[in-house]
Amino acid sequence: MRVVSLVPSLTEAVAVTLPGVLVGATDWCTHPPGLDVPRVGGTKYPDLERVLALRPDLVLLNVEENRRVDADALTAAGVPVRVTYPRTVPEALAELADLLAALGAAEEPAWLRTARRAWADPPRLTPARRAVVPVWRRPWVVLGSDTFAGDVLRRLGVRNAYDGHPERYPRPDLAALREAGPELVVLPDEPYRFTATDGPEAFPGTPCALLSGRHLTWYGPSLAEAPAVLADQLARPVTHPA
């Protein structure tokens, strides 16, 4: 089996579970560290000629990270694709198990079993906090309804103020975000790299939790440690002076 992954979290899952199966990945596939496979460009604009030159038996894609036009082009070229789209933690765990089994894993890897246990009873904020969760600024984009990251946060005691929004990634302006009355602002370091000096100043007086975007949005080996990592970061917010 020769697999090209256009999804960073799946790249990590395949690389650590089935060494030698992965023959190509995107420039954004940073895990596992030291991964030595040919690179095929970005997730949104992969170099399809490079992908085809690797003679893959399967290309891995995700609805949010990759474009339908690229999936269609690969299919038209006769290359099988597998498209993932988990919106909850249980869906992610199930899709990972199915994928790895399909690629030849004789049993579930230890990291996946650990992730199941970790998410069976994750640590939670007590009491739960009402939050806004920006994932981009200029313009501001926040988590809305039906997202994987939103489900992760809900299981950790974070109530997304935009969870009932009809859009999955609304674009309210800053005034609307402040008027939403958040008790907490969750600022991940990807896709936009929020930091202690880039983000909290927009919400003076409101605690801001700086989170690992990989642990919040990736569904792969990082799921095993995500509950502990994210719970610790949620418990240590920073507050810009009002």
pLDDT, tens digit, 9 for 90 and up, residues 163-212: 999 999 999 999 999 999 999 999 999 999 999 999 999 999 999 999 99
| d(C-alpha 26, C-alpha 45), whole Å | 10
Mean pLDDT, all residues of the chain:
97
- What's the token pair of residue 103? 């690629």
Pairing type for strands 58-62 and 22-25 reads unpaired
DSSP 157: T
Region 127-145 average pLDDT? 97
CATH topology of domain 119-234: Rossmann fold (3.40.50)
| d(C-alpha 211, C-alpha 229), whole Å | 9
pLDDT tops 90 at residue 59: yes
Are 3-85 and 119-234 the same fold in CATH?
A: yes
Checking phi first, is residue 165 left (phi over 0); if not, alpha (psi -120 to 50) or beta? beta
The pLDDT value recorded for residue 89 is 98
Task: Calculate the alpha carbon distances from 62 to 10, 25, 81 in Å.
Answer: 9, 13, 10
The pLDDT value recorded for residue 31 is 96
- What's the chain's length in residues? 242
- What's the token pair of residue 242? 């009002």
Question: What whole-number percentage of the chain has pLDDT above 90?
Answer: 100
Q: Closest Cα to residue 120, out of 99, 148, 90?
A: 90
Radius of gyration of the chain (CA): 19
Residue-range domain boundaries for the chain? 3-85, 119-234
Question: What whole-number percentage of the chain has pLDDT above 70?
Answer: 100
The pLDDT value recorded for residue 184 is 98
CATH topology of domain 3-85: Rossmann fold (3.40.50)
The pLDDT value recorded for residue 94 is 97
| d(C-alpha 199, C-alpha 208), whole Å | 8
| d(C-alpha 55, C-alpha 51), whole Å | 7
Which pLDDT band, with edges at 50, 70 and 90, does 242 fall under? confident
Which pLDDT band, with edges at 50, 70 and 90, does 155 fall under? very high
Please state the pTM of the whole predicted model.
0.94
pLDDT tops 90 at residue 134: yes
The pLDDT value recorded for residue 237 is 97
